[in-house]
Structures are given as structure tokens and as C-alpha cells.
Chain A
Amino acid sequence: MFKNKKRILSKQYLPYLLLLPALVFLITILIYPTLYVVDLSFFKWDLLAGTPKTFIGLGNYQAMMQSSRFFGAFSRSLYFTVLSVSISFLIGFGLANLLHKGIRGKSLFTTILIVPMVVAPIIIGLAFKFMYNPDFGVINYFLNIFGIPSQPFLGDPNLALNAIILTDIWQWTPFMILVLLAGLESLPSEPFEAAKIDGASRWLVFRRITLPLMKPVILIAILIRSMDAFREFDKIFIMTGGGPGLSSETLSLLVWRSSFSWFHMGFAAAMGLFMLVVIMVISWVLIKFMGGRER
């Protein structure tokens, strides 16, 4: 009788037993920090000054809304995200279409594409910092060949952010290419064959068949990349640290600075939460969309 109970127990509860360590982990290490941040955002806590934690309700959020620095950083984050994602998407989609036509050496090419994505962002930041150098950087060398004078890329407030965006585009266009290519390759061939028989032009096929069918994959690629671009830190940190001035300070930089340079923990938490919410909104959009079509 007792033996039966044990067996039933293990059969029924086995899945939960397997899940348990993961669940414990996730809950303590994910939920707890998130709640901590939410909680912290309602306090003023200046670690450096040594003052105790004081509850200020929505004070941090008010300050945030009134801070021009915050809005500057936020707009720069948006600018960074939109520019990087859209340009890399356009280039990526174009190249994916080229590859899809059937090229010899496709597998070699796609292997090469992996390289930019798996080198550490911090290393890439360093590499480009080296290459952007006005005195001995190789990029300026090539510009000189075409008669363009050397630019102090990372030292010029007007150029810095864009130079970093270029780096981001360099690193992640392969992502777009590979994902979109996989999407193109997974499209069913029947609609295209039917269109061929119907005599549709290449542009018409692209617009009316390829694009609509590719919508899910395009959305996945863009949303995932957007989430990553929005929170980009390593490259900006190592290349300019947010400067010159504030010209490349994105929200991630500002949050970092607030919490680990000035130690205004509460304020940083509020801004950080804002960032997290933006990410969650993007991810929610993606999931709802995917749930609609079910993988």
C-alpha cells in the first residue's frame, strides 16, 4: 500500500520536481531583484553621502520627468536604436535576398558572418576605437585616400554617436542577414511557383508574396535587435564613455553613471525601471504577435 503511494507520487509530481530548482532560482534571482528595483525607485538613497534611505514616493519619477539630461539620454537611446536597427535591417534584407538566389560559397559566407556577432562587444569597441583614431586609425587612412580629411570620430560631439552606431551596424547586420535568410529559405515554394505561372513580375512577387510571408520573421528580427540596441552599453562605454560632453550618452550610460559614479541609487533605479519597462513592452508586443500565429 505504501509502495503504491510512493510510485503515484513520483509519477505525478516528477515534472514539478524537475522544475523545482529552476523555479527557485528564477524566482529568487529574477523576481526579487526586479521588485527590489521597483521598491528602490521610491526612495532617495545617496550611498556616497552616507545619508539613510528616505522614502520619497514618486519623487524620483518627477525628477526624471523634469530632467533634461534624462530626456536627452532617452532620445539618444531611441536615435541609436532606430538608426542601427533600420539600417542594418535594410542592408541585411538586401543581402539575404541576394544570398537566397543560390550562390556558391553560401556556407562559407554565412560562416564568416558569424564572426562580428560572437566577438565580445567590448573588444569590438576597442577595435573600432583603434580604427577611428585620428592619428593612426586605419579608417581615416582610407578616407584620406578618397580626399576626405581625417575626422576625430570619437572626439567630435557631432560624430561620436553616429560613429558608435556604425559600429553597432557593423556588428549586427550579420544577425539580420542570417535570420532573414533563414526566413526566406523556410518560405513555401508553391506561392512562388503559382506566381511564376501567373506571369508576375519580380517586383510584384516581392511586394505581394515575399514581404507578407516574411512578416513574422521580419518582426522577430527587428524586435529582438531593438531590445538589444536599446540597452547597448559596452561599446559606448569603451569608445566614448558617453562623451564628448553628453553627445553619446544613452540611457544605459546615464543609469550606470547615476548608480555607479554618483551613487544616487534611488534615481538610478527609477530610470532603470523605465528602461526595463520599455524592453518589456517590446517583448510583450513580440510575444503577442507570435502567440497569434503559434510557432
Chain B
Amino acid sequence: MKVEFENVTKKFDNAVVVDNLNLKIKSGELMVLLGPSGCGKTTTLRMLAGLETPTAGNIFIGDNKVNDLEPKDRNVAMVFQHYALYPHMSIYDNLAFPLIAQKKPEEEIRKRVREVAGICRVENFLHRKPKQLSGGEQQRVALGRAIIKNPNVFLMDEPLSNIDAKLRMEMRADLARLHQKLKSTTVYVTHDQVEAMTLGKRIAVMKSGGLQQVGTPKEIFNRPANLFVAGFVGAPPMNMFEGSLTEKNDKMMIDVGEFSYRISEELYNLVKKQCTTSEVILGIRPENISIVNKKSGTVLARVDVLQSIGSDIYVYLRMGKKSIITRVDTSKIFTIGEKVWLKFNEKRFCIFDKRTEKIIV
């Protein structure tokens, strides 16, 4: 079922937590709500569940307006961050609970519970209580409880944030597989941008209650709508240089202080037209900076710190007062203090209007 938020606002006392949200989620899509803590993503999810009511605006599940519907009437399922398994009930009863609410017959409940327990690989725990299970196992049970009622929409509130890193990867794969199989509309909340990028078909980035950008991971990565999205997504973060658009000796430049980058006339005109001032911010991701020899390089910088993460090396460089990060594979060897030449992949430039923080190109 599709989900739509229409001008949804939520205030707690006088604090605006969700600000005029307009978002359309397609049926069967896995939409990730991504943002730092306090950005309103969890509140948005809870409004969809019916645990909070919007101060203004409408929420639609399918074609129905659900603003005033109780959670039990919305046919949604939710996986909570801390699992929220009923501690006094066995795993079997935890899984069966939604079906008991629907007053399904005993036979059917038994069948479904076994089925779902199998899917979530918790068949061996059915008679145990939640506290006897590990974090990962509890989360699988929570997932099972959500699956068992065949909901219209799956809601997930940072379900993997309490699980250790290695298990998290496995569960992420599990979730993706499950989504493939069930083809159900899923709204997934997280603050972890890696998780968002790997899971989501589309990502909605939020900050302070407002929607910053909606798009596929690729779109968000390569063409962030504003400085916030650019800085939030991607590790190591995008390099940002403050500069101004200048014209020097018939060459169009972006003057960053330590260096001036020459740009084509078309680009210059394009930027000049759309930019409110001539102050811009040039953004380029570490992945798109390469260390080359003097001939093809355009910028000179000094190697400052080297950080190896196994598969890559993060090279922190300094140029005057600016620091630049780039990413190279482990075959390259550098020494600290060494001066190297950098080449920027111009196709991957992101030029932001310094004042509005929005992207121009």
C-alpha cells in the first residue's frame, strides 16, 4: 500500500518537531528516513503508526485518511528500537499476540507462528522468555511479530542500533532479503547513513523536522540538495572549500584562497546565474580526488595523517590552512610530510551557494 504525508506538522507544546512534511511512499517500496537525532524521523514514524496524532496535515495509508484511526485499526506493524518484547510472555506468545488481537482461531495461530518462527530462525526458542535470548535473537522475534500479521506497512524504528557491528551486517542482509520476498511497503528510520545507503530504495533525509531531500542513494550521494545532506552522507565526509567566483585574466575561477580552480565558461555562467552572491562552496568527495604526478595534478598539498582501514587508506592532506581528505587503495605508499599533486574529478563537483546552502551544480 502506498503511504502519503500531506503537509504534516507535529508540535509538542510549542516546539515544532515535524515541519510541514510532504512525502509520498510508493507501494512496496523501502523508504528510509535518515537524519540525526532529534530531526523528527521517529516522530514521523510514530504518527504513521498512530502513536502520535499530527497537529496539522493528513496521513494516508493506501487511499484512506488515517489521522484519526487507532493503531489497531491501521494494520501496520512496528519493530521498535529496543525490541519491546513482552517480558512476561514466551516467544510463542509474543509472536502469537497480534493474531490473538485479531481473534484468529487457535489452529491458524499455531500454523502461522511456526511459519514465521521458521522464517526468522527462532523455532528453537518458542518456549523461552525474551530475557533468555540474545539481542540479535530478540530482534528477530520482534521482526517475526511484525511479519505475522501481514500488515499494510512495516515500520522500523532504528531496529539495528542496539546490535553489534558484525551481527548488524547479517541482519541488514536478512532485512533486505525479507523485503524482497514480502514486497511490502516499509518505512525504516535510522541515523546511520551507511545503513540507509545500503538498505533503502529511496532515502528521505531530514533535519530539524524538515525534509531536506528525497532520492535514491546514488542521487543523494552524488547530488546532495544542500550542505547538510552533503556533509551527513558519505564517510569520510565531503571536502568543502569556501570560495568565490572570480574572473582573472579571462579565466573563470573559483578562488578558494590556497588555490584557484579553473572552470569552464559555461559552468561559470551557470553558477553565476543561480547563485545569490558570488560566494560559493565547492564540494568534492574524497573518492573523487586522486593523487597523481606533477603533470596531471592541479593542486599541491602535504600529507598530514594516514589512516588505514584495511581496504583503503584515508589520506589527510594539508594545504595552507585547509585540510583535504582523500581515499586511495592500499597499494599506494606515502610518507608524512610528503608533497603530492592532487587531481579533482570535475564531473563530480558540487557547487553550493554559500548563503542558501543549496546546490547549484
Q: Do chains A and B touch in the complex (CB under 8 A)?
A: yes
A residues near B, CB below 8 A?
A: 4, 7-8, 11
Question: 6 closest Cβ contacts across the A-B interface?
Answer: A4-B68, A7-B68, A11-B53, A8-B68, A7-B70, A8-B53
Smallest CB separation, A274 vs chain B (Å): 42
B residues near A, CB below 8 A?
A: 53, 68, 70
B70 surroundings in chain A (CB, below 8 A):
7
Q: Can you offer 6 A-B residue contacts whose CB atoms are under 8 A?
A: A4-B68, A7-B68, A7-B70, A8-B53, A8-B68, A11-B53
Smallest CB separation, B71 vs chain A (Å): 12
Smallest CB separation, B343 vs chain A (Å): 52
Give the complex CA separation of A228 and B331 in angstroms: 77
Closest to A4 in B: B68
Closest to B70 in A: A7
B68 surroundings in chain A (CB, below 8 A):
4, 7-8
B-side interface mostly = loop
Smallest CB separation, B73 vs chain A (Å): 11
Smallest CB separation, A152 vs chain B (Å): 59
Give the complex CA separation of A4 and B70 in angstroms: 11
Give the complex CA separation of A48 and B65 in angstroms: 73
A-side interface mostly = helix
Give the complex CA separation of A261 and B70 in angstroms: 62
B53 surroundings in chain A (CB, below 8 A):
8, 11
Closest to A12 in B: B53
Give the complex CA separation of A11 and B53 in angstroms: 10
Give the complex CA separation of A4 and B67 in angstroms: 10
Give the complex CA separation of A8 and B54 in angstroms: 12
Closest to A3 in B: B68
Give the complex CA separation of A130 and B70 in angstroms: 66
Closest to B67 in A: A4
Give the complex CA separation of A11 and B71 in angstroms: 13
Smallest CB separation, B12 vs chain A (Å): 14
Smallest CB separation, B193 vs chain A (Å): 34
A4 surroundings in chain B (CB, below 8 A):
68
Give the complex CA separation of A11 and B68 in angstroms: 11
A11 surroundings in chain B (CB, below 8 A):
53
Give the complex CA separation of A11 and B70 in angstroms: 10
Smallest CB separation, B70 vs chain A (Å): 8
Smallest CB separation, A94 vs chain B (Å): 38
Smallest CB separation, B55 vs chain A (Å): 12
Give the complex CA separation of A8 and B53 in angstroms: 10
Give the complex CA separation of A25 and B70 in angstroms: 33
A8 surroundings in chain B (CB, below 8 A):
53, 68
Smallest CB separation, A3 vs chain B (Å): 8
Smallest CB separation, A6 vs chain B (Å): 11
Give the complex CA separation of A276 and B126 in angstroms: 58
Smallest CB separation, B54 vs chain A (Å): 12
Give the complex CA separation of A225 and B53 in angstroms: 47
Closest to A5 in B: B68
Closest to B69 in A: A7
Smallest CB separation, A270 vs chain B (Å): 44
Smallest CB separation, B297 vs chain A (Å): 53
Give the complex CA separation of A4 and B68 in angstroms: 7
Smallest CB separation, A266 vs chain B (Å): 47
Smallest CB separation, B72 vs chain A (Å): 13
Give the complex CA separation of A4 and B53 in angstroms: 12
Give the complex CA separation of A207 and B71 in angstroms: 56
A7 surroundings in chain B (CB, below 8 A):
68, 70
Give the complex CA separation of A181 and B81 in angstroms: 36
Smallest CB separation, A48 vs chain B (Å): 57
Closest to A11 in B: B53
Smallest CB separation, A130 vs chain B (Å): 48
Smallest CB separation, B344 vs chain A (Å): 50
Closest to B68 in A: A4
Give the complex CA separation of A8 and B68 in angstroms: 8
Closest to A7 in B: B68
Smallest CB separation, B13 vs chain A (Å): 14
Smallest CB separation, B284 vs chain A (Å): 46
Smallest CB separation, B56 vs chain A (Å): 14
Smallest CB separation, B26 vs chain A (Å): 29
Give the complex CA separation of A290 and B70 in angstroms: 39
Smallest CB separation, A239 vs chain B (Å): 48
Smallest CB separation, A8 vs chain B (Å): 8
Give the complex CA separation of A96 and B354 in angstroms: 66
Smallest CB separation, A181 vs chain B (Å): 27
Smallest CB separation, A5 vs chain B (Å): 10
Smallest CB separation, A15 vs chain B (Å): 15
Smallest CB separation, A268 vs chain B (Å): 47
